[in-house]
A and B are shown apart, each in its own frame.
Chain A
Amino acid sequence: MSRIEHNMSLTGDAPSALNTQQKLSTLLGMSGLFILLLATFNLNFPNKTLWLSISLISVFAGIVWFAKASYADKHPGIKNDGIWFKSMTNRGFLAWLVGISLTGFYIILYLYPQYLGLRAEGDNTGLIALFDPFSKLLSGNPASQWFVYGTLYTIAILAFGVKFMWKYRHNRYEKLRTVSVMFFQTAFAFLIPELMARLNGKGFSLPYYDLKNIWPLNYYNFEQYRVDEFISAGTVGMILLFFGIASIFIITPILTYKYGKRWYCSWVCGCGGLAETAGDPYRHLSDKSLFAWKVERWVIHSVLVFVVLMTTAVIYSYLGYDADKYWLNRDVFLIAVGVFLTLLFAGIWYFKREELEKDARYGAIGYLVIIISLIGFHYMSGSNLFLFNAETLRVAYGFLIGSIFSGVIGTGFYPIFGNRVWCRFGCPMAAILGMQQRLFSKFRITTNGGQCISCGNCSTYCEMGIDVRAYAQKGENIVRSSCVGCGICSAVCPRGVLKLENGSQKNRISSEEAVLGDNVDLLDLIKQKSN
């Protein structure tokens, strides 16, 4: 029996052969990458500007041309044919090849940038040197490994963004949000910080700041060197510092209340941007099991607790003791953190307790007790805040979460685990927005009465691993903290069942299983019975 069930989708002829234009465009894009590879192995190109331009244009043009060859002569509509037949999108040989290459690239990028040609002293060599002219053009400084990465990242979002828009050209929601992530990546993540670096000069220096990158995703935003730079840069610096604080405490809650966390995760965020464009071919690989959902909730909220502890410890470590010098000293800060977390917890508990699952209640109580008792413990014993030295926490977070989780696993394993592993299991920003979305937002995915046929396209193509069908077939709205509002469930639904909406909070969550169809009498009967 299981033989047939496992082989069925693989026995037929896959419509997988590439057409001539797809082959040529692959050649073009690959030759662009090959130039970068040669530079990495220290082939010293005579005219770096020329060769870098050739390389990047080839990569970009290759991807766009491939997209055109794939979709342009087809009808507008859903383009998932053969996804599960192809090696590249069904965890086959090509998928592992890409996964291993990407993972290797991230390991070198984060841990061994010297192999890319980064030199602490003297001129860069290798791949990074190839990017020097471009970096000097923008910021006036030589390139770093992050500049190389940022350039490639932006090109990936732009080129695969074009591909995504071609694929979903019948769907204006998808096109608009893709234009949005392309814009925010190019302008906010890439160009503006580079150009801002030009302003730095004598006695004035701003930290590299991608304005849309909000703490705790941007976990280093309140580290000492950055805060010092903000403060010493005068009014502009202070405005940026307060913008950073307002982003998480004021702007984010308001926008999430109105539109759900999608305003950030699938319209603005760079991680989301890459996942939705370059990662789109892998969206169906997310794990939809109930078990995966349980793991997700524990892991992502643990990361959130970790980043809160780490940031508190780091800020605490550079604040002064003396209350006379500056009002914000160590004690005021710690008490403020404790009071804020307690109030937040009490508010959720009081207003929304009945909406929390049992494990969410245990988790919330457990984590609050741990944080508060760590603070208390610190006062009693005078030992390190949170048992570890702040610097140890910072380095550990940066390495484990910032590099390994978000980069190596989150992006490197796109072709194996799907494109939103980081966003689903790791991102503390997504955890905060998710809590807001689940408890205090107008956003939901509305289910259209009894039209659902349980086909499962929505669940299959949910990159966040939400079993959308489980709700749709019961006639329930989908209100889930992890939903990034990509809109693909609604797009792939063959029966017009799902719609992303911002509406009144009344009836947003239907907890009782709705009677299907529109059988008014039956509904009355059930109400009578439950009374």
Chain B
Amino acid sequence: MEHIVIIGNGISGVTAARHVRKLSDHRITVISGESDYFFSRTALMYVYMGHMKWDHLKPYEDWFWEKNRIELKKAWVEKIDFDNKKLQFSTGDSMDYDKLVIATGSVYNKFGWEGEDLKGVQGLVSKQDLIELEENTAYTKKAVIVGGGLIGVELAEMLRKREIEVTFLVREQAFWNNVLPLPEAKMISEHIRSHHVDLRHNTELDKILSDENGRVRAVRTSDGEEIECQLVGLCAGVRPNIDFLKNSQLETDRGILVNEFLETNISDVYSIGDCAQQREAIGSRKPVEAVWYTGRIMGETMARTLTGIRTAYQPGNWFNSAKFFDIEYQTYGWVWPEPKVNEQHFHWQHESGLKAITIAFDTETREFLGINTFGIRMRQEVIDLWLNKNRKIDHVLANLKLANFDPEFYDRHEDEIFRSFKNNLQEAE
């Protein structure tokens, strides 16, 4: 019986622990300094908005861990002695391991802005960040959010629900335009503004200004404008949480470098989740992916390797989802912000400005490459099949009904989408 130690009780680490337990009798310890029990990080916003309480974030009841003989240790790991297979905790005590899985997740980016360490300046990734946000926003009437990504728009929604005025600085010409095609990005920008967020495109943060108590009082933008605020949300992306591993034998780049089997350069040491960086990118995926389901798949894959069935990490077709205030977003396959060579985008938007679809396809082979949907739910199973079978755009449009996953009695738009596509083609020819 080996002692498998997992640093990090997020979705990756906990999934690995659960599946190791299913497959074996090894001793399992999960270490976290952040929280007593696994919780759903993606739902932090709902606690702040009063939709849920902290206990609702825990996917497993507290008795689950003992029943499944998964030992939990609340501590921060300060140093790892890889030669002697020993962890050093910040409290001074230590722990031996036979196999080690590092699943420490992400922290939010700071890019060396002047004033980024002032009081009232923070991101939103961890439980501690949420606690800090509660404390900070007790005094906040105006806030500035920096960086137009998924956490940024969530933070904007959270703050608006507490009647805090929000100015949202976004580098791109429309919201998340580095990921979304322009028509969709513009639609989302409109929607964000309709929720009374002062959204500023093509605007970056220059520096953060302090009051006499070391607390933020304003920011200055790249245009030189000064915006008064009591809170600055740093939402310009996240990076692997690996600072405690710097200057060790472990090979790192942005994240901990792993091969397709999630193995690091040190034997019996593995890394999964947001903090892992693939040495060889998988398909068109980024080498570091901070996505919920990839963490889960890595955790399952890891458990197989740890229990003797060495298994490569294969995340399958890219997909993801998000919600921008009231508009749900799903994506399957690859829809780039600008079509690549031999690619074309077909875009349809509903007159309400709340629903849209973009389908990417190959102009030569007419092969279906990917789809973005807004305000329309799609059935992953069906789209996955289309992607795997290299279906043509014509097949996809003719069968789009099969992929609809909206609740019963919702308005259907497939016919309109189909007509729109045919008209577009005729115009193009």
B317 on the A face (CB < 8 A): yes
B314 on the A face (CB < 8 A): yes
Closest residue of chain A to B53 (Cβ to Cβ) is A9
Q: Which residues of A contact B11 (CB under 8 A)?
A: 454
Give the docked Cα–Cα distance between A6 and B134 (Å).
14
Closest residue of chain A to B388 (Cβ to Cβ) is A520
Q: Which residues of B contact A457 (CB under 8 A)?
A: 43, 46, 51-52
B296 on the A face (CB < 8 A): yes
State the Cβ distance, B268 to closest chain A Cβ, in Å. Answer: 23
- Does A456 lie within 8 Å of B43, measured CB to CB? yes
Q: Which residues of A contact B61 (CB under 8 A)?
A: 289-290
- Does A448 lie within 8 Å of B380, measured CB to CB? yes
- Does A496 lie within 8 Å of B319, measured CB to CB? no
Known interface pairs A4-B131, A517-B315, A518-B380; 11 further A-B residue pairs with C-beta atoms within 8 A, sorted by A's residue number: A75-B195, A81-B49, A84-B50, A449-B379, A456-B43, A456-B57, A456-B59, A487-B408, A496-B328, A499-B405, A518-B384
Q: Which residues of B contact A500 (CB under 8 A)?
A: 407-408
Q: Which listed residue (B54, B194, B330, B379) contacts A75, Cβ 8 A?
A: B194
Evaluate whether A13 and B319 lie within 8 angstroms (CB atoms) in the complex, with A75-B325, A81-B49 already known: no
Closest residue of chain A to B381 (Cβ to Cβ) is A449
Can you pick out 20 interface pairs between chain A and chain B where the beta carbons lie within 8 Å of each other? A9-B52, A9-B54, A14-B50, A81-B161, A84-B50, A171-B407, A448-B377, A448-B380, A449-B319, A449-B379, A459-B56, A492-B51, A495-B323, A496-B328, A496-B405, A518-B319, A519-B297, A519-B315, A522-B300, A522-B311
A122 on the B face (CB < 8 A): no
Q: How large is the interface on B (under 10, 10 to 19, 20 to 34, 35 or more residues)?
A: 35 or more
Q: Mark B129-167, 1 if CB is under 8 A from A, else 0.
A: 011001001100000000000000000000001110000
Q: Which residues of A contact B57 (CB under 8 A)?
A: 455-456
- Does A15 lie within 8 Å of B55, measured CB to CB? no
Counting chain B CB atoms within 10 Å of each CB, which of A9, A77, A487, A501 scores highest? A9
Q: How large is the interface on A (under 10, 10 to 19, 20 to 34, 35 or more residues)?
A: 35 or more
- Does A5 lie within 8 Å of B54, measured CB to CB? yes
Q: Which residues of A contact B54 (CB under 8 A)?
A: 5-6, 8-9
B425 on the A face (CB < 8 A): no
Q: Which residues of B contact A84 (CB under 8 A)?
A: 50-53
Evaluate whether A455 and B410 lie within 8 angstroms (CB atoms) in the complex, with A75-B325, A448-B405 already known: no
A470 on the B face (CB < 8 A): yes
- Does B50 lie within 8 Å of A515, measured CB to CB? no
Evaluate whether A77 and B131 lie within 8 angstroms (CB atoms) in the complex, with A448-B379, A520-B316 already known: no
Give the docked Cα–Cα distance between A83 and B319 (Å).
32
Closest residue of chain B to A455 (Cβ to Cβ) is B43
Evaluate whether A496 and B377 lie within 8 angstroms (CB atoms) in the complex, with A453-B40, A455-B43, A522-B314 already known: yes
- Does A454 lie within 8 Å of B325, measured CB to CB? no
- Does A9 lie within 8 Å of B47, measured CB to CB? yes
Q: Which of B164-204 contact A (CB under 8 A)?
A: 194-195
- Does A519 lie within 8 Å of B316, measured CB to CB? yes
Q: Which listed residue (A172, A501, A517) contacts B316, Cβ 8 A?
A: A517
Q: Please provide the 10 A-B residue pairs with the shortest distance between their CB atoms, ordered closest to farther.
A: A449-B380, A496-B377, A77-B326, A455-B43, A518-B316, A82-B50, A172-B409, A453-B42, A494-B323, A495-B321
- Does A456 lie within 8 Å of B52, measured CB to CB? yes
Give the docked Cα–Cα distance between A496 and B403 (Å).
13
- Does A450 lie within 8 Å of B319, measured CB to CB? yes
Give the docked Cα–Cα distance between A451 and B131 (Å).
27
Q: Which listed residue (A172, A460, A521) contacts B52, Cβ 8 A?
A: A460
User: Which residues of A are interface residues toward B (Cβ below 8 A)?
Assistant: 1, 4-6, 8-9, 11-15, 75-78, 80-86, 170-173, 176, 289-290, 446, 448-451, 453-457, 459-460, 469-470, 473, 487, 490-492, 494-496, 499-501, 515-522, 525, 529
Give the docked Cα–Cα distance between A522 and B410 (Å).
35
- Does A496 lie within 8 Å of B321, measured CB to CB? yes
Q: Which listed residue (B42, B55, B74, B408) contacts A5, Cβ 8 A?
A: B55
Q: Which listed residue (B58, B130, B162, B410) contacts A8, Cβ 8 A?
A: B130
- Does A525 lie within 8 Å of B380, measured CB to CB? no
- Does B40 lie within 8 Å of A83, measured CB to CB? no
Closest residue of chain A to B74 (Cβ to Cβ) is A1
B253 on the A face (CB < 8 A): no
B48 on the A face (CB < 8 A): yes
**Majority SS at the chain A contact face:** loop
- Does B380 lie within 8 Å of A460, measured CB to CB? no
- Does A8 lie within 8 Å of B46, measured CB to CB? no
B36 on the A face (CB < 8 A): yes
B301 on the A face (CB < 8 A): yes
- Does B42 lie within 8 Å of A455, measured CB to CB? yes
- Does B300 lie within 8 Å of A516, measured CB to CB? yes
Give the docked Cα–Cα distance between A290 and B411 (Å).
37
Give the docked Cα–Cα distance between A78 and B161 (Å).
12
- Does A499 lie within 8 Å of B292, measured CB to CB? no
Closest residue of chain A to B47 (Cβ to Cβ) is A9
Q: Which residues of A contact B59 (CB under 8 A)?
A: 454, 456, 469-470, 473
- Does A516 lie within 8 Å of B407, measured CB to CB? no
Evaluate whether A450 and B328 lie within 8 angstroms (CB atoms) in the complex, with A1-B36, A473-B59 already known: no
State the Cβ distance, B385 to closest chain A Cβ, in Å. Answer: 9
Q: Which residues of B contact A176 (CB under 8 A)?
A: 409
Q: Which residues of B contact A6 (CB under 8 A)?
A: 54
Q: Which listed residue (A76, A496, A529) contacts B330, Cβ 8 A?
A: A496
Counting chain B CB atoms within 10 Å of each CB, which of A13, A454, A491 scores highest? A454
Q: Which residues of B contact A521 (CB under 8 A)?
A: 314
- Does B162 lie within 8 Å of A12, measured CB to CB? yes
Q: Which residues of A contact B74 (CB under 8 A)?
A: 1
State the Cβ distance, A519 to closest chain B Cβ, in Å. Answer: 5
Q: Which residues of A contact B380 (CB under 8 A)?
A: 448-451, 518
Closest residue of chain B to A171 (Cβ to Cβ) is B407
- Does B50 lie within 8 Å of A83, measured CB to CB? yes
B293 on the A face (CB < 8 A): yes
Closest residue of chain B to A520 (Cβ to Cβ) is B316
- Does B410 lie within 8 Å of A172, measured CB to CB? yes
Q: Which residues of B contact A529 (CB under 8 A)?
A: 309
Give the docked Cα–Cα distance between A176 and B57 (Å).
31
Q: Which residues of B contact A170 (CB under 8 A)?
A: 326
B378 on the A face (CB < 8 A): yes
- Does B325 lie within 8 Å of A15, measured CB to CB? no
Closest residue of chain A to B44 (Cβ to Cβ) is A455
Give the docked Cα–Cα distance between A82 and B316 (Å).
39
Closest residue of chain B to A516 (Cβ to Cβ) is B296
Q: Which residues of A contact B316 (CB under 8 A)?
A: 517-520
State the Cβ distance, A23 to closest chain B Cβ, in Å. Answer: 18
Q: Which residues of B contact A451 (CB under 8 A)?
A: 293, 319, 321, 330, 380
Q: Which listed residue (A450, A460, A515) contacts B51, Cβ 8 A?
A: A460
Q: Which residues of B contact A469 (CB under 8 A)?
A: 59
Q: Which residues of A contact B49 (CB under 8 A)?
A: 80-82
Give the docked Cα–Cα distance between A499 and B382 (Å).
15
- Does B301 lie within 8 Å of A15, measured CB to CB? no
Give the docked Cα–Cα distance between A515 and B316 (Å).
12
- Does A450 lie within 8 Å of B47, measured CB to CB? no
Q: Which residues of A contact B51 (CB under 8 A)?
A: 78, 80-81, 83-84, 457, 460, 492
Evaluate whether A450 and B296 lie within 8 angstroms (CB atoms) in the complex, with A14-B50, A456-B52 already known: yes
Q: Which residues of A contact B194 (CB under 8 A)?
A: 75
- Does A77 lie within 8 Å of B325, measured CB to CB? yes
Closest residue of chain A to B37 (Cβ to Cβ) is A5
Give the docked Cα–Cα distance between A217 and B384 (Å).
45
Give the docked Cα–Cα distance between A289 and B380 (Å).
30
Give the docked Cα–Cα distance between A487 and B46 (Å).
20
State the Cβ distance, B144 to closest chain A Cβ, in Å. Answer: 19
Give the docked Cα–Cα distance between A449 and B315 (Å).
13
Evaluate whether A490 and B407 lie within 8 angstroms (CB atoms) in the complex, with A449-B381, A499-B377 already known: yes
Q: Which residues of B contact A83 (CB under 8 A)?
A: 50-51
State the Cβ distance, A441 to closest chain B Cβ, in Å. Answer: 16
Closest residue of chain A to B137 (Cβ to Cβ) is A12
Closest residue of chain A to B128 (Cβ to Cβ) is A4
Q: Which residues of B contact A75 (CB under 8 A)?
A: 194-195, 325-326
- Does A15 lie within 8 Å of B131, measured CB to CB? no
- Does B293 lie within 8 Å of A13, measured CB to CB? no
